[in-house]
């Protein structure tokens, strides 16, 4: 399946943290085209298993990318039909005024987060950021009609389909981390063309945005020997410092620091160099805000690497990535897995 098509479908499928049933089904159905076996657990984590040659003592590898997205949730259905809401995951309230959303109740309804026009603002109002507690969603229904259709707790997603800006630069909501799921697919496609000796689990995790919750329980279930977490990092934005952001066209970003196994990470970089795959390096001083955080300390510990896609404007509805980088990351990971032969344990010695 074409990567851009996959991404388009993923971005259009709802799945806020804790409510991933739909996105889980979508991912599962695509994984089935490439994996030997696909399973889903009670929390909607998807596990796609791939094997090729069977070697004794071959490693069990777990790749993880999260499929949940940040969004909103109905907190109150007002008498007049307006909806009050809370955020699910880290939502910057400044992106909300004027946004289109979809409220998933008994039916899915289009909603607008209202914004007061400048003409009606008094004095200093315009100088302050609007707060979420003062905002409301207008679904165009009266209080009576909406009763029963929408309830407290109903999930709300942003409406922002995948849009091509220029060449391979695309934007949309939830690319954090559906782009990571696309890297899983790329890796599967590339791995199908290579020989490898490993039991590989492609895990689409849930509830990462609430604290890597899906990764905690899926790593416990899989019990991998090697962990590969796939997430996004900051692409260079005009209003952020160069120190904290990465170029959009120099390849994926490999992380180093206490959360990543140094020997394993070095091996990943060696493979990149061997196959002339460009990459950048990000230094993370503590447990990262990704599934790697949970995987590394699961049960007896799992040596883990973290690979990230530069993404601009994270946690907005206009998250921007370079599809080329998705493909490069997939190539790198497939070659990495394919290079795991006898003696792979030595990569993890201290």
Partner 1 sequence: MKELLKKLVLCYGPAGNEEVIRDCIKEEIKDYVDEVKVDVLGNLIAVKRGGGKKVMLAAHMDQIGFMVTYIDEKGFIRFSRVGGIFVQNSINSKVVFKDGLVGVVSYESEIEDIKDVKLDKMYIDIGTKSREETEKLVKIGDVAVYANGFAESNGRYISQAMDDRAGCVLLIETAKRLKSSPHEVYFVFTVQEELGVRGAKTSAYALDPHVGIAVDVTLTGDTPKSKPMAVKMGEGPAIKVKDVLIMAHPKVKELMITRAREAGVPYQMEILEAGGTDAGAIHLTRKGIPSGVLSIPTRYVHSDCEMVDASDMENGVKLLLKILEEEIEF
Partner 2 sequence: MDELLKRLTEAHGVSGDEGEIREILKSEAANLADEVSIDRMGNLVAFKKGTKSGKKIMLCAHMDEVGLIIHNIADNGILKFSTVGSIDPRVLISKKVRIGKKKQYGILGLKAIHLQEPDERKTVVKTKQLYIDIGAKSKDEALKLVNLGDYAAFDTEYLPFGQGRIKGKALDDRLGCSVLLNALKCRYPFDLYACFTTQEEVGIRGAGVAAFNIKPSMALIVEGTTCSDVPGVDEHMRSTRLGKGPAITVMDATSYSNKDMVNKIIETAIKENIPYQMKQSAAGGNDAGAIHISGEGIKTAVVSVPCRYIHSPNSVADMNDYYSTSRLVEAFLKGCE
Q: Is 217 in the site for partner 1 (CB under 8 A)?
A: yes
Cis peptide preceding 177, ω within 30 of 0: yes
Among the listed residues 208, 209, 284, 319, the single catalytic one is 208
* Helices and strands: H and E segment counts in the chain: 8, 17
Cβ 228 vs Cβ 241: under 8 Å: no
Q: Is 165 in the site for partner 1 (CB under 8 A)?
A: no
- Matching residue, tokens 């061997």: 274
Binding mask 49-88 for partner 1 (x = CB under 8 A): ------------------------x-xx-------x-x-x
Q: How far is residue 189 from each of residues 58, 162, 243, measured CA to CA in Å?
A: 21, 22, 34
* Side-chain-facing half-sphere of 113: CA atoms under 13 Å: 28
Q: Is 4 in the site for partner 1 (CB under 8 A)?
A: no
Binding mask 209-248 for partner 2 (x = CB under 8 A): ----------------------------------x-----
- Relative to beta strand 226-234, strand 280-283 is unpaired
Residue 286 C-beta: closest distance to partner 2, Å:
5
- Relative to beta strand 100-104, strand 71-77 is unpaired
Sole window of 17-25, 148-156, 285-293, 323-331 interacting with partner 2 (rule: CB under 8 A): 285-293
For partner 2, the closer of residues 174 and 255 by Cβ is 255
For the question of residue 208 being annotated catalytic, the response is yes
Q: Which does 207 bind (CB under 5 to 8 A by kind): partner 2, partner 1, none?
A: partner 1
Residues 50 to 109 in contact with partner 2, rule: CB under 8 A: none
Q: Which of 325, 318, 347 is nearest to 254 (CA)?
A: 325
Residue 278 C-beta: closest distance to partner 2, Å:
16
User: Phi and psi dihedrals of 290, rounded to 5?
Assistant: -140, 175
Q: Is 274 in the site for partner 1 (CB under 8 A)?
A: no
Q: Which of 157, 166, 164 is nearest to 3 (CA)?
A: 164
Give the DSSP H or E segment for 8: helix 3-12
Residues marked active site are found at 208
Binding site for partner 2 (CB under 8 A): 243, 256-259, 262, 281-283, 285-287, 296-297, 299-303, 348-350
């Amino acid at each position: 399946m074409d990567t851009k098509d996959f991404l388009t479908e993923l971005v259009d499928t709802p799945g806020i943290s804790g409510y991933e049933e739909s996105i889980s089904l979508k991912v599962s159905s695509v994984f089935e085209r490439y994996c030997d076996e696909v399973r889903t657990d009670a929390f909607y984590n998807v596990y796609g298993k791939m094997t090729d040659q069977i070697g004794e003592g071959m490693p069990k590898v777990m790749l993880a990318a999260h499929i949940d997205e940040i969004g909103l949730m109905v907190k109150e259905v007002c008498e007049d039909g307006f909806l009050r809401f809370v955020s699910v995951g880290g939502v910057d309230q400044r992106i909300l005024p004027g946004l289109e959303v979809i409220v998933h109740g008994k039916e899915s309804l289009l909603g607008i987060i209202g914004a007061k026009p400048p003409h009606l603002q008094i004095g200093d109002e315009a100088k302050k950021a609007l707060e979420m507690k003062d905002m409301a969603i207008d679904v165009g229904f009266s209080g009576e009609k909406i009763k029963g259709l929408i309830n407290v707790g109903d999930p709300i997603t942003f409406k922002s389909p995948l849009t091509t800006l220029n060449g391979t630069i695309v934007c949309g909501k939830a690319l954090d981390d559906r782009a990571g799921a696309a890297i899983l697919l790329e890796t599967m496609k590339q791995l199908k063309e290579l020989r490898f000796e490993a039991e590989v689990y492609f895990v689409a995790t849930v509830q990462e945005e609430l604290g890597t919750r899906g990764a905690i329980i899926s790593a416990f279930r899989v019990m991998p020997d090697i962990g590969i977490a796939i997430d996004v990092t900051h692409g260079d934005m005009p209003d952020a410092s160069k120190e904290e952001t990465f170029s959009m066209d120099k390849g994926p970003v490999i992380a180093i620091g206490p959360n990543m196994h140094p020997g394993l990470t070095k091996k990943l970089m060696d493979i990149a160099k061997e196959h002339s795959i460009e990459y950048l390096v990000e230094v993370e001083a503590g447990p990262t805000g990704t599934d790697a955080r949970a995987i590394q300390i699961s049960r007896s510990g799992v040596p883990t690497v973290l690979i990230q896609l530069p993404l601009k404007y994270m946690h907005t509805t206009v998250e921007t990535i370079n599809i080329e980088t998705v493909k490069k990351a997939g190539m790198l990971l497939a070659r990495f897995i394919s290079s795991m032969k006898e003696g792979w344990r030595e990569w993890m010695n201290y």
